C-alpha cells in the first residue's frame, strides 16, 4: 500500500473521530437521551457524504476517496456504536424506540447516501 494513502486515511480519521466526539457531546446535551440522536446524526451525515463521494467517483483523485471516504467517514460514522445502542435499547425494553432507531438508521442512511450520490451526479 502506498504510504501517502495511509497518511491520508490517518489524516481524515484524525478529523472525523474528534468531530464525532464533539457531535455526540453537543447532541446529548440538547436532545432526548433515550433515542441515540448523536450516532444517528453522524451516521446519516456520513452516509450523505459517502454517497456524494461515490457519485463523484472517476472525477476525483483516489487520494480524496482515501482522505474523505475511508479516513473521515470511517472515523465519523460508527456501526459498532449503532449496534451497541440498539442492543442497549432492547435490553432496557424500550422496544418501540429500538425498532424505530433500527428502521430510521437503515432507511434514512440509505436515502442520505442516495441523495448525496444524486446531487453530485446532477451537478456533473
CB 51 within 8 A of CB 114: yes
CA–CA gap between residue 43 and residue 53 (Å, rounded): 15
| pLDDT digit string, tens, across residues 2-44 | 999 999 999 999 999 999 999 999 998 898 788 999 999 999 9
The domain ranges of the chain are: 3-123
CA–CA gap between residue 36 and residue 115 (Å, rounded): 23
CA–CA gap between residue 114 and residue 121 (Å, rounded): 10
Q: Is the pTM of this model over 0.75?
A: yes
Any binding-site annotation on 78?
no
Residue 120: pLDDT over 80: yes
Any binding-site annotation on 5?
no
pLDDT of residue 33: 82
Mean pLDDT of the chain: 96
Amino acid at each position: 500500500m502506498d504510504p501517502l494513502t495511509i497518511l491520508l486515511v490517518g489524516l481524515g480519521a484524525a478529523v472525523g473521530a474528534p468531530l464525532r466526539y464533539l457531535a455526540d457531546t453537543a447532541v446529548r446535551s440538547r436532545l432526548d437521551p433515550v433515542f441515540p440522536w448523536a450516532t444517528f446524526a453522524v451516521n446519516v451525515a456520513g452516509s450523505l457524504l459517502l454517497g456524494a463521494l461515490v457519485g463523484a467517483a472517476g472525477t476525483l483523485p483516489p487520494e480524496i476517496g482515501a482522505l474523505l471516504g475511508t479516513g473521515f467517514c470511517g472515523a465519523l460514522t460508527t456501526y459498532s456504536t449503532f449496534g451497541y445502542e440498539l442492543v442497549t435499547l432492547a435490553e432496557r425494553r424500550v422496544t418501540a424506540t429500538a425498532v424505530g432507531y433500527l428502521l430510521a438508521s437503515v432507511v434514512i442512511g440509505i436515502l442520505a447516501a442516495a441523495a448525496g450520490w444524486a446531487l453530485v451526479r446532477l451537478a456533473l
